[in-house]
Amino acid sequence: MLRAGTRVRVGWQHSALGQGSDVTACGAPQDEPLRQAWIGPEGVALQVAASPAPEWPEAQCAGWLATARRLLEQAAQLEFAVARIDSLQRSELLRQALYEIADLAGSSLELPVLLRRVHSIVGELMYAENFYIVMFDDHRQTMRFLYFVDQLDPWINDPEQEMPIAEEGNTLTTHLLLSGETLRGPSSELRKQFGISQDDNNGPDSADWLGVPMSRDERVAGALVVQNYRQPNAYSEDDRILLAFVAQHVLTALERREARKQLESRVTERTAELQRANEELQSEVFERQRVQEIQRALFRIAELSLTSESLGHFYAEIHDTVSELLYARNFYIAMLSDDGSMLEFPYSVDERDLERQPRKPADGLTEYVLRTGKALLADQECIARLRAEGKVRTHGSMAYCWLGVPLLREDKVVGVIAVQSYATDVVFNSRDQDLLTFVAFHIGSSLARKQAQDRLVLAHSSLEQRVSERTRELAEANAELVEQIGERMRAERKLIHQTRHDALTGLPNRLQLLERLARAIAAAKDDPHTCFAVLFMDLDRFKLVNDSVGHAVGDELLIEAGRRIVDSVRGGDVVSRLGGDEFAIFAEGLDGPGMAEELGRRILASLSMPVWVAGRELFPSASIGIALWDSRYRSGEEMLRDADAAMYRAKSDGRDRCAMFDEQMHLEAMRSLDMEIDLRRAIQSERFVPYYQPIVRLESGEAVGHEALLRWRHEQLGLLVPGEFLDVGEDSGLIEQIDWLMFAKVIDDMARRVMPGYVAINVSPRHFRMQDFATRLLAMLDDAGVEPSRLRVEITEVALLDDAPRTLDILAQLRRHGVLAQLDDFGTGYSALSYLHRFPIASLKIDRSFVAGLDANGCTESVAVVRAIVALAVSLGIELIAEGVETRHQRERLAELGCEYAQGFLFSPPVPLPGG
C-alpha cells in the first residue's frame, strides 16, 4: 500500500506524438520529475515518483496504474497507425512514380530527356545520385549504357555504342545481366563473392551497390543500378523490391517507346507506298477509261452492222463515232468497186467539196494509200513534196493536213477512210493515225464479216462489261487504300491502347485474350473441377460484304457484331477480336459443355437480327467453334487452335451454328499432319509422276500436244489426284518443291521419249513471284537438250492479275526463247481485254463448265459465251482449246462454233507414258 499523499505522474516520449504528453493523478503538480513508462513484451511497465506524504489507499493507486496502462496501450495503437500511414505514403509515392514513367512512355520527349526524368523519379524513391541504365541483347551478347550518371566515375556513355560482354562476366554489371539475379551489398564483397577481379577501368568501389534486372518472358533485357559511395547498407530489402518493380515499368516504357518508333517508321513507309500505289492506280484508271472509250466506239461500230438500216446510215454512224475520237469535220470513205476499176465514195462530208464523184483510180492521195497499203499523214509541205516527186496530184480542194488509212478485207486493201483539215490550228498527229488505223481495221472487219455480226456483238458486249467491272474494282480498291491511309494516321494516335485492344472495335485483342487464358490454365491445374471454354467465331460470307458494298461497310458491320456479342455474354466473359472477321470469347465459371453451347446459341441469335449499315439492310450470321478446357492443353494457343478447327466444322455443316471440338476433329487434324509428313517423304523418294492427256485437233482427232497432270503414288492409299493433297501442300509450302520435281520429270520424258507436238505444264501463281523462275526453267530445258518451243506453260487468270508487271516480264522472257503461254479456265475469272492485249498469250482454254453446257439440252448462255470466246480468239489471233470434252455432241457443237482444238475423256483420260 502506497503512503497517503503519494503523487503519480505518467509520461512518455514518442517519435510521432512528441515528448511531454502527461497524465497526472490526484491533482499532482506538473513540475514533478518525469519517470519512465513503457510497453514491453510483458505488458505495460511504470516507474512512479513518491514524495513524503500521508499514505494513500492501495486500491486508489492501483486505479491510477490501470489508467496509465490504458493510455500507453492507446499510444502503441497510435504508433502502429502512424507506421501504416508511412507505408501508404510510400505506396502512393511509388504509384505516382510509376504513373509518371508510364506517362513518359507516351510522351514525345527525346530519349536523353526522358531518361533524366526517370532518374529524377527514382531519386525521389531512394538515394540515386549514382544511377545508370544498361540494355542487354542476349542473342548478340552485347550491352548498351542508355544512361549513366556518377559522382566519382568520369566515364561518359554513348547510348548507341554496343559493347560485347565476356562469358565469365568480368564486372558486376555483366554478371547481373548474364545471371539475371539481383545484386545488393558493398561492391568489393560482391566481387569477391562472384570471383570478379578489380579493374580501375570499371570505376571505384561503392559502399553499397544495388542492381536489379529488367526481364521479359524469362529473358534479361537490361538492368537498373544505383550506388552509394559513402554509406554502407544504404539500400534495404524494401529498396530492392521497389527498384525491381520500377525496373519492369522502365523496361515497359522503353519497349513501348521503341515499338512506337518502329510503328511510326512503318506507318511512314506504308503511307508512302500507299501514295505511290494510289498514283499508279489513278494513272491506270485514266488509261482504262481511255481504253474504255475506244472499246465503246468499237462496240458501237460492231453494233451498227446489225442496227443500221442501210450502208449510208452505217457510214454516217461511223462518221459520228470517229468524230468522238478525233477531229472529223471533213470525212470521207472511198471504196474500190468489186472489179477494181472504179473508186467510189459511198460517204463524204466536207466543208468545201460538197460532193465527190466516182472516178477511175488515178494518182490522188487516196489512190496512194490504196497502192501502198499504208496509212498516210501529210501536211501541205509533205503533199507538195509528193507532187514534186510525181507520186500524187491533188483532187478537189487543197487540205492543210490530210490523214488517210486503208480499209482491209482479208488482208487486202479495198478502200480508204480519210479525214482532213483546212484550218491551220487543226493538225493531226501519229496518235490520231494509230487511232484511225485501229478504227479502220475494225470497220473493215465489220464489213467483211457480215454473217458473223451476232457473235462479234456478243463478244464486244461481254468485253465491255468486263472492262467496266474491272474499272469499278479499281475504284473500290482505291477507296480502300484511301481508307487504309486514314486508319494508319488514326493508329498513330491510338498506339498505347491498341497494344492490348483491337483498333476497330475497341475490344481486347489476341494478346490480352492469351494472357487471360494463360492465367486460367495455370489456375485450373490446381483445381480439377474448373470449367471454362474458348468460343472461336467467324462471320459467314463476310468477304462478300467487303467485295459488294466496300470495306467501310464491312468495318461498321464488324463494330456492330462486336457490340452484339458483348451484349450477349456474361459480365465476366472476355470478348476479343482476333483480326478480320474473327472473334473469340473466353467464358469462365461454366458448369459443363451445355452451358458453353447455350452461350454460343445466344450469340448466334443476337447476330441473326437484321442490321442497317450505310443504308443497307444486312442479315449477318456466324459459325462458332467451342473448345472446352481439358488437362491436355498447355497454352491458350492450343485452345484457340482447336476452337478454330471446330469453327470450320460448323461452316462445313451449313454455317450459322455451333460445333464442339471433339476427338474426331483431333483425329482429322492428326490426319492432315500425317498427310504433310507423307508429302515430305514422297518428295524425298520422288513418288510424284506425270500423267499425260492429249490435246487434239477437232477436225481430224490428231494429237497436237499433251497436258502434263500431277499424280502421287501413295504407298498405302494408291494413286492420288491433286485435289486429295493439294490443300495440304499449299498450306505447308511444299507445293513448289513438288512442282519442280514434276517439271524435271516432264522435261526428262520429252528428252527420252517420242511425244508428238508440245507438252503443257501447269504453273502455280506462286512461281511468278520468284524472279528466277524463267531462268531456272530454261536452264532445265537446256541441260536436257529439249527445244523450248516444245514446252508450254499453262497459267490461270489469277496469275495474270496477282502481280501483272512481274508476270508480264517472265512470260515475255519465256516467249523470247520459244516457250509459249496458255491461259487456263478462260471465262471464269476477270478475262480483261487489256490483259489479253498486253500479255503474250498463245492459247485460250475454254473452261469445262461452258463445254458441259453444250449438251443437247444445254443452256443458251453457254453457247453464247463459247461463241463470244471463239470470236474474240479469232480477232486476236489466239488458239482456242476446249477442256473437258466428254460427248460427241459437245465435239460437234464446238466444231460448229469454230473451236479448233480440244481435250477430254472423249479422246483419252490422263495416262502415264508406257513403261513409266
pLDDT in tens, 355-384: 888 888 888 888 898 888 888 998 888 888
Higher-pLDDT residue of 546 and 273 is 273
| pLDDT greater than 50 at residue 4 | no
Average pLDDT over residues 812-816: 91
**pLDDT for the residue numbered 309:** 67
**pLDDT for the residue numbered 363:** 85
Lowest-pLDDT range of 30-34, 653-657, 751-755, 761-765? 30-34
What is the SS3 assignment for 253? helix
Average pLDDT over residues 259-284: 87
Q: Catalogue the E-assigned strands of 698-853.
A: 703-714, 718-720, 758-762, 791-795, 820-826, 841-846
| pLDDT greater than 60 at residue 894 | yes
* Own/partner pairs, 896-900, CB within 8 angstroms, 24+ separation: 897/863, 897/866, 897/867, 897/870, 898/870, 898/874, 899/698, 899/846, 899/866, 899/870, 900/697, 900/698, 900/699
Alpha-carbon gap, residue 449 to 85, rounded angstroms: 102
Higher-pLDDT residue of 119 and 836 is 119
What is the SS3 assignment for 21? strand
Lowest-pLDDT range of 314-318, 421-425, 547-551? 547-551
The single-letter code of the amino acid at 903 is Q
**pLDDT for the residue numbered 2:** 39
**pLDDT for the residue numbered 213:** 95
| pLDDT greater than 60 at residue 169 | no
| pLDDT greater than 90 at residue 160 | no
Using only the alpha carbons of the chain, give its radius of gyration.
Answer: 45
pLDDT band at 493 (very low <50, low <70, confident <90, very high): low
Percentage, residues of the chain above pLDDT 90:
18
pLDDT band at 860 (very low <50, low <70, confident <90, very high): confident
Distance of CA 705 to the CA centre of its chain: 41
Higher-pLDDT residue of 240 and 460 is 240
| pLDDT greater than 80 at residue 81 | no
**pLDDT for the residue numbered 341:** 86
pLDDT band at 435 (very low <50, low <70, confident <90, very high): confident
Higher-pLDDT residue of 33 and 827 is 827
Q: Catalogue the E-assigned strands of 323-439.
A: 330-336, 343-349, 376-379, 401-409, 412-421
DSSP 8-class letter at 569: S
Nearest to 371 by CA among 402, 407, 413, 318: 413
pLDDT band at 614 (very low <50, low <70, confident <90, very high): low
**pLDDT for the residue numbered 72:** 63
Nearest to 347 by CA among 320, 376, 377, 378: 320
User: pTM value?
Assistant: 0.38
**pLDDT for the residue numbered 83:** 55
- The H-assigned helical ranges of 344-429 are 365-372, 380-388
**pLDDT for the residue numbered 106:** 66
| Dihedral (Cα; 110, 115, 120, 123), 10-degree rounding | 180
Work out the mean pLDDT of the chain and round it to a whole number. Answer: 81
* Grid cell 465435239 in the structure block, residue: 891
The single-letter code of the amino acid at 5 is G
pLDDT band at 37 (very low <50, low <70, confident <90, very high): very low
**pLDDT for the residue numbered 76:** 61
Alpha-carbon gap, residue 427 to 419, rounded angstroms: 11
| Cβ partners under 8 Å of residue 565, min gap 6 | 537, 575, 583, 585, 603, 606, 607
pLDDT in tens, 332-351: 999 888 888 888 888 889 88
Most confident of 4-18, 57-71, 807-821: 807-821
What are the φ/ψ torsions at residue 720 (nearest 5 degrees)?
Answer: -115, 140
Average pLDDT over residues 317-322: 84
| Dihedral (Cα; 867, 869, 870, 875), 10-degree rounding | 130
| pLDDT greater than 50 at residue 561 | yes
**pLDDT for the residue numbered 16:** 37
Nearest to 901 by CA among 913, 910, 891: 891
Alpha-carbon gap, residue 45 to 72, rounded angstroms: 9
Task: Give the CA distances from residue 524 to residues 517, 529, 533, 874, in Å, rounded to whole numbers and listed in that order.
Answer: 10, 8, 12, 71
How many Cβ atoms sit within 10 Å of the Cβ of residue 405? 27
Alpha-carbon gap, residue 708 to 412, rounded angstroms: 41
What are the φ/ψ torsions at residue 557 (nearest 5 degrees)?
Answer: -65, -40
**pLDDT for the residue numbered 167:** 53
- Contact assessment for residue 675 and residue 693, using Cβ atoms and an 8 Å cutoff: no
Lowest-pLDDT range of 93-102, 564-573, 705-714, 758-767? 93-102
Alpha-carbon gap, residue 417 to 898, rounded angstroms: 31
